[in-house]
Amino acid sequence: MSRRGRFVAGGAVIAAALAYLIYSGVTQSAVYFVTPAELQAAPVAGKVYRLGGMVAPGTLRWEPTTLALSFTLTDGKASVPVRHHGTPPDLFGEKRGAVVEGRWTAEGYFSATQILAKHSEEYKAPHDGEPAGYKGMMKTLSTDGK
C-alpha cells in the first residue's frame, strides 16, 4: 500500500472511531427526559427519572414559608402530580415547560429533587401577549426522542 493509501486508511479508521465516540456520547444523553405518558405507561416506584412536560394551569401551589411546591406536569395525553421542596427557577410557572429530576413514589406522585425551567425559542417585547414557552415545549414533546 502506498504512503498516501495508508494515510487515507488511517484517517478513515480515526474518522470512524471519532464519529462513533461522538455519536454514542450524544445518544446517551439523547433521551434527556421522559414524558408523563411514557412514565404512566410503566411507572417503577423508587426509580430515578427525568420528567419533562408542561405545568398544567391551575395546579401550581407554592408555600413560601415552608417551601412546599406541588404541581401537575402534563403532555396533553397524561399527567403526573409532582411534589418538591425548594424555590423554583424564575422561568418556572403555569403553562410553561419544565423538566424535573427525582423519583416516582409508591404513593403515586413524583418526588422531585430538582426543578428545571424549559425555555422556548420565542422572544418577546414587553406586553406582547401569551408567555413564551408553551408552544416550544409542546413542539419538543411531539417529536419522538429516539
Partner 1 sequence: MSIARVLGWLATLALAAGLVMGFGVAPREATQGNVQRIMYLHVPTILVAYLAFAVVLVASIVYLARRADAADRIAHASAEVGVLFTGICIVSGSIWGKPTWGTWWTWDARLTSVSIFFVVYLGYLLLRGAVDDPERAARYAAVIGILGALNMPLVHFSVYWWRTLHQPPSMLKPGAAAMPPSILAALLVNLVAFALLYAYFVVKRSRVLAREAEALG
Binding site for partner 1 (CB under 8 A): 11, 14-15, 18-19, 22-23, 25-33, 52, 88-92, 99, 114-128, 131-133, 136, 139-140, 143, 145-146
CB of 7 to partner 1, least distance (A): 8
Burial string for 1-24 (b: 16+ CB within 10 Å, else e) reads: eeeeeeeeeeeeeeeeeeeeeeee
Which of 81, 136 has the CB closer to partner 1? Answer: 136
| Cα 101 from Cα 97, distance rounded (Å) | 14
Q: Are 83 and 110 in contact (CB under 8 A)?
A: yes
Task: Return the C-alpha cell found at 78.
Answer: 397524561
CB of 31 to partner 1, least distance (A): 7
Q: Are 73 and 101 in contact (CB under 8 A)?
A: no
Which of 63, 128 has the CB closer to partner 1? Answer: 128
CB of 61 to partner 1, least distance (A): 18
CB of 91 to partner 1, least distance (A): 5
Which of 13, 68 has the CB closer to partner 1? Answer: 13
Which of 9, 45 has the CB closer to partner 1? Answer: 9
Q: Are 54 and 138 in contact (CB under 8 A)?
A: yes
